[in-house]
Chains A and B, each alone.
Chain A
Amino acid sequence: MHIPDGFLDPFWIMVTYAATIAYAVVAWSKIKGRLTQEQIISVSVLAASIFVAQMLNWPLPGGTSLHFVGGALAGILFGPWLGFYIMALVLAVQTLVFHDGGITALGANIFNMAVVDVVIGYYLYRAATRAISETRKARLTGAFLGGWLGIVLAGLAAGIEIGLSPSFPYGVEVSVPVMVTWHAVLGVIEGLITALVVDYLYQRHSPIVEAAAKVTVHATA
């Protein structure tokens, strides 16, 4: 889902950079001075794990492929503000060190995967754990739904951005159905992985869960 250089027109480059910077400023104001060394180390370990997980591309029959994105996972564990910085770090390293995603599209890529995916994952998970109470079943359900819908809506956002960029007048009518349909199908795997990882981390009482539980910025979401 990493948009390369050349796909976005200048208007959408500016809009997506502006939206991402605005979110980054708000997110920074929410987390500034509230994190411990332990929590920072914990989020960097999660970021490194997501970075490597994204390297595992799964080619599928029919000529398409997917890889785990992890935005919902970051949001579920660390909330919408810190989750944003986890994914933004991953995406910035991918772009600046490995040219994975364009520099002109970095604003859009961060918006799609570090804002949309993270926020949707976080709120769906919270809704499920509130509705079913904080049980293992609720965590699995919420994480699956968050992982699935997060990636579908991130795909929708990318489809709108690239669909509205070319002078081709009906771009969105082409790009949005392709992106949403494929991600609705492939997103099931993202949802399953998100649910299994969240469940595993909670069942094992991982230090990542421990650090995340102490992050007080969730409450101000």
Chain B
Amino acid sequence: MAGLLGRYRGALLAVAVLLILSPVFGVVLAEKVGYHEPLDVAAEKLGLEEHPIVEWTPFSDYTVPGLPDTIGYIVAGAIGVAVILGIGLVAARLTKQ
């Protein structure tokens, strides 16, 4: 089944490269320049504040406990990719050929 992924070697290689580069954009530059999406700007003007109900994951905001933010960002991304591809592989297995 995992052999089916072999056809997508190019796309998966691109995913790996983007993952390795991701802390530059997701952590380093975000900390240096600031990170405010338009949604944050609109929410600030409305006086809306985030109220998390409960913290349900150890990987909140793409961090991994015990790892520096940059490495944790890559590991968290790899976990996300693995979860998505894993769901895809399970769904494919449950599908008749």
Contacts and interface: CB of A to CB of B under 8 A. Distances in A.
Q: Do A and B originate from a single complex?
A: yes
A155 interface: yes
Nearest to A66: B37
A77 B21 CA distance: 26
B84 A47 contact: yes
Contacts of B85: 44-45, 48
Given A45-B12, A52-B18, A162 B43 contact: yes
Given A6-B48, A38-B4, A64-B41, A100 B62 contact: yes
A97 B25 contact: no
A24 B22 CA distance: 31
Interface in A174-221: 174-175, 178-179, 182-183, 186, 204, 206-208
Given A44-B89, A55-B62, A168-B46, A89 B84 contact: yes
Given A45-B85, A66-B37, A175-B45, A57 B30 contact: yes
Given A1-B39, A44-B85, A174-B45, A37 B92 contact: yes
Given A59-B33, A162-B46, A163-B46, A51 B80 contact: yes
Most-contacted residue by chain B among A4, A61, A182 (CB, 10 A): A4
B46 A49 contact: no
Contacts of B50: 4-7, 102
A10 to B, nearest CB: 13
B30 A36 contact: no
Contacts of A56: 18, 21-22, 25-26
Contacts of B25: 55-58
Nearest to B50: A4
Interface string B8-25: 101110110011011001
A103 B56 CA distance: 10
B88 A47 contact: yes
19 contacts: A1-B39, A3-B39, A5-B53, A37-B95, A40-B92, A41-B5, A44-B85, A44-B88, A49-B11, A51-B84, A55-B26, A65-B30, A65-B36, A66-B37, A98-B80, A100-B62, A103-B56, A163-B46, A175-B42
Interface of B: 1, 4-5, 7-8, 10-12, 14-15, 18-19, 21-22, 25-26, 29-30, 32-39, 41-43, 45-53, 55-57, 59-62, 73, 76-77, 79-81, 83-85, 87-89, 91-93, 95, 97
Interface of A: 1-7, 35-38, 40-49, 51-53, 55-61, 63-66, 89-90, 93-94, 96-100, 102-104, 155, 158-159, 162-163, 165-166, 168, 171, 174-175, 178-179, 182-183, 186, 204, 206-208
